[in-house]
Each structure stands twice: as structure tokens, then as C-alpha cells.
Amino acid sequence: MRTELSLILDLITDLPLSMRAQRLVRTLRERFSCDAVGLLRSEGDALIPVALDGLASEAMGRRFVLGQHPRLAKIMSAREPVRFVPGDPTPDPYDGLLDQRWGEPLPVHDCLGVSLYVEGRPWGALTLDALPDRTFTTRDITALSAYAQIAAASMRVSRLEEDYRSLKLLRGMQSDAMASVPHDAQIVGQSAVMRALLSELDVASDSDLPVLLLGETGVGKELFALRIHRHSPRADKPMIHVNCAALPESLAESELFGHLKGAFSGAGADRAGRIEAADEGTLFLDEVGELPLSIQAKLLRTLQNGEVQRLGEDRPRRVNVRIVAATNRNLTENIKSGRFRADLYHRLSVYPVHVPPLRERGGDVLLLAGRFLELNRARLGLHSLRLSQATQQALTSYAWPGNIRELEHAISRAALRAASRKTSRDVIVTIEPEMLGLDPDVIGQPGYQGKGLGDEDVNADTGRRASQDRLNPGMQVMGLRHATDQFQRECIQQALERHGGNWSAAARALDLDASNLHKLARRLGVQSPA
């Protein structure tokens, strides 16, 4: 009853989606006394985690394609809860990803899931997983049906609240709640700097102002340019991508502005340029700092007058194009050296946006690693691919000079090495730090903050333990989850001893349902006193 009341109270409380979803999975994990609960949103042919409790951090970054995960596909194809009993050979997407307090990674032994429908349409799924056998009962299956209705109502309330906040923002009212709106599938990140960046892009997207994306190589500027376009009034029009660094100077003018037949040798027909192709839409000029000076002057005229003139043509053509440019160069330095026009720079940088490097995004590195792990798991045909705890520490301690591109290559390289060492008995393949091939001189570079998800320090637990050790010499401080389990184990054992091994009496003394006490005891390894 208390569980239902808690979830219902969340329905009538104004909460961001991320907070409401996290409270939901945490509450359900306690209610069903299981090891992990996941809330996943349907997106095309895949399920995307919205909130997880009891799973590795990198699992939040994974994208579970239904065609590759038969358990999730079966859950989504049914309207009633689906249970996969212990011994079911169907692979579980969370094998090896559950809490590592058990020591070596273990496969899931008991699984329960249900699809969620919002306003009659499939929204996603709830999944419950447990390592011990026979954790879930027939009563749990019935109860999950009811909780699924509450979960669906909760997601519907979140969507209505977000629609209302979006409407207020469009009307010019101030709101900081847009950070809770689900991100585009390709953009992975929950750190404070990423939430601030996406909020900034929401503001920029709704205008026609030129945007200049600034950032190091490999930070994913193209994805953010695509997000600006998709969230703009021009979203139903084309977005044309021009890699300025790959344009030969001899062909750059023709590529951008087009030409008439016979304008130069080899021009066998009239051809529209990239700018015309983007008419009414968005033109993305990637690596704009590489444009030749001669082309810069002509591009400036297009921005000033809204006109393009094809090579060999006398009259200009009108175009209506929104410009998004990106560069990893310091354009102000290029202006001083005469390699970039100051007037073009000021035209392009009406709305400058800095894309942070990966080393400033803290725990996002694990989410991105999760996305690349899932891609490589499918590519290599592996049942399960995971990171060891030491590897997670290595990833969060590295400064990533090559940013997301370097991370992607490191994970792909490590996945291949790990797969080559697996034996026929290795259902769960684990990546160890030495498989990453990272430069040891880059680890722990000055300036790296080592922040975790939501700007929580990934080393905070280590720091707290060190602080407590100084306050309590000789006292070994354990992790919060481990300490909680030990406390619960002692309480159950004491209650059983006090009541002569009577489980029903012990459950009443602990204010627990008897079936929940049995499940909790099995998970904690508590047995009746002899």
C-alpha cells in the first residue's frame, strides 16, 4: 500500500521526467525485492533506457534493438506481463550488467517484464531482473500489471508537463525545465554541461540566426547541428552538409554556388550548388575555417543579400537558407593572421555555442561507452559485452584528447581484443583496461575534473571513504549498498532468532509482507537459524 501511495503522490507532484522515472524504478525495485529495474522508452526499432536502478552506469547509454534482443521483443509484443523463468535459454540483455557486489559478473536468473501503453499506443517497457532463482511469484506477475498502469500514467503526466513547458518557452516565458525533455537518440549525455548545452541549443533552434558551433575535433558538432535543424521551424526542409576541409579550392565555388553548362571545362550541364539545395532549409558548413579566402568573400555576399550566383550566370538567384557552421579552429587567431575574414566571422557567429570536450562531461563517458559497447556486441555476435570496474575507472580517468571519436575507437578495439580471447564457456565477455590501448601519459591530465553522472564526482565515494578513514582510524568503511544489505541481513537474522525461525512472525516484526521477506532473504543469502 505504501508503494502505491508513493507512486501516486509522484503523479500529482511537479517533477522532471528524469526524477519521476528514477523514483519509479527505485520504488519498484524495493517493492519486488529484485536486483534491477529498468524503464525503457520505445524509439523506432529499439528501446532506450530512461531510468535504471541496480545496473551498471554504462547501461544507460545503450540502445537495445528489438531484433537483437528477443526477450525485449517478446515483452513489447504482449499486453500482459511476461516472465522468463530460471533456465530459459533466451539471452537476457542485462546479463553481466547487474550490480557487481556479487563479485564476478553473473547472468540474470529470473526476469519479469511488461509493455507500457500511453493513450493506446506503445510507449516502452518495464523490466525486473534478479540474480537468485525463483525471485518472482505469481502474485508478482499480477501486481506488475497494476504497477504498469501507474507507470504509464506517470509517463503520460510527464509528457503533458513537458508539452506545457515547451509551450511556455515558445511564448517567451522563462523555464529551466526543458533539460528534462528526452534527447535525440544520437545524443547521449546527462551531465550538467550537456543539459546546459541542449537548453542553449533549444533557444538557438527556434530562430533563424546563424549559429557557430565551436569545439575540439571529435566532440560531435555535426550531431548538434542536426539537432538544431530538427528542432527548428525548417525541420521538414533539407539540411545540406558541406565539409569545407574536403573541398578542393578549384571546385569549391562550383560545389557551393553551382554552375551553368559550359562555365568551365567539364561543366556538361547546369548544376545547382549546395546553397541552392538547402533553400528553405539549413546549410551546415563543417570546418568552416578551412574555406579559401576567395570563397569566403562570395559566401559573405550570400549571407548579406540572400542571393547566390552560379558560375557563368549573369543574374543572381534568391535563396532562403539558415546557416549553421562549425570549426575546431580559433577563428579570431585566423583573422589576425589573415586566413579568415573578420566580416564573415561576425556574420557566422551571431549565436556562438561552445561544445564541451569529453573530459569536461564527466560520467557521460560511461554512457557513450555503453552505446559503443552495444554496437560492438551486435557487430561481433556476442551474447554480452561489459566493462570491468577497473575499466570503468580507466575510462573516467582518461583525458580523451580525441574526444568521442577516440572513445569509439578505443571501445571497438577493446571489444575485438576481448572477443578474440573468449572461450566457448564465456557467455559474458569483459573488457579489461589493458585492452583499451590508452596512452598512459594522458591519464589524469591536469584540468580533468572526473565528474560523474549529473555532475556527481565519480571519485566521491573514494574521497568519502578516505575522509571517514581519517576520522575513524582502522575502521573499514564499505559502500552504501553493501552496508545496507549487511544491515538488512542482520535485522532478518535477529528477527528469525527472536521468533524461533518463524518467518511469518519475523515478517510481522519487520513490518514486511511474508512473501517479500522470503524473497529479500533469498537475495541476501539469509537462511533459517538451525
Q: Average the pLDDT over 119-130 and give the result.
A: 93
Is 396 part of any domain?
yes
Residue 467 maps to a domain: no
Q: Is 368 left (phi over 0), alpha (psi -120 to 50) or beta?
A: alpha
Q: For the domain that residue 155 is a member of, what is the CATH number? A: 3.30.450.40
pLDDT digits (tens, 9 = 90+) for 243-296: 998 888 778 888 899 888 877 877 778 888 899 999 999 999 999 999 999 899
Q: Tell me the one-letter amino acid at 517.
A: L
Q: Which of 232, 247, 238 is nearest to 276 (CA)?
A: 238
**Judgement on whether residues 410 and 333 belong to the same structural domain of the protein:** no
Distances, alpha carbon 221 to alpha carbons 213, 215, 285, 299, 437, in Å = 7, 7, 11, 21, 25
**Would you state the pLDDT for residue 507?**
80
Same-domain check for residues 154 and 7:
yes
- Final residue of a structural domain among 327, 357, 387: 357
Residue 93 domain-assigned?
Answer: yes
The closest of 66, 285, 50, 275 to 182, measured between CA atoms, is 50
Count of Cβ atoms closer than 10 Å to residue 443 Cβ:
13
The answer, yes or no, to whether residue 396 has pLDDT greater than 50, is: yes
Side chain identity, residue 466: A
pTM over 0.85: no
* Helix (H) or strand (E) run with residue 483 in it: helix 480-498
Q: What is the pLDDT of residue 156?
A: 84
CA distances from 332 to 126, 198, 353, 378 (A): 51, 25, 15, 44
The mean pLDDT value of the chain amounts to: 82
Q: Which of 328, 357, 386 is the last residue of a domain?
A: 357
Whether residues 351 and 420 share a domain: the answer is no
Task: State yes or no: pLDDT of 221 exceeds 80.
Answer: yes
Domain assignment present for residue 182? The answer is no
Residue 297 sits in a domain of what CATH number?
A: 3.40.50.300
CA 242, 243, 245, 250: dihedral to nearest 10 degrees? Answer: -40
- Are residues 87 and 135 located together in one domain of the fold? yes
Helix 221-230 × helix 192-205 angle, to 10°: 40
Give me the domain span that covers residue 437: 361-458
- The pLDDT score that the predictor gives to residue 168 is 42
H/E stretch holding 335 reads: helix 331-336
* Residue 183 belongs to some domain of the structure: no
Q: 126-144: b or e for each residue (b if 16 or more CB lie within 10 Å)?
A: bbbbbbbeebbbeebeebb
Residue 468 inside a domain? The answer is: no
One domain, residues 213 and 83:
no
Residues 326 and 376 in one domain: no
Number of domains the chain contains = 4
Q: Which of 310, 330, 357 is the last residue of a domain?
A: 357
181 falls within a domain: no
48 domain residue, yes or no: yes
Same domain, 196 and 286: yes
For strands 384-387 and 239-243, give the pairing.
Answer: unpaired
Are 137 and 17 part of one and the same domain?
yes
Q: pLDDT band at residue 328, thresholds of 50, 70 and 90?
A: very high
Output 502 or 135, whichever has higher pLDDT. Answer: 135
Taking alpha carbons only, the member of 182, 184, 194 closest to residue 21 is 182
pLDDT: which is higher, 164 or 369: 369
CATH for 444? 1.10.8.60
Q: Exposed (0-12), middle (13-18) or buried (19+): which is 268, by Cβ within 10 Å?
A: exposed
Judgement on whether residues 344 and 393 belong to the same structural domain of the protein = no
Domain co-membership, 230 together with 369: no
Q: Whose grid coordinates read 541481513?
A: 489
Same domain, 366 and 296: no
> 487 and 386, same structural domain?
no
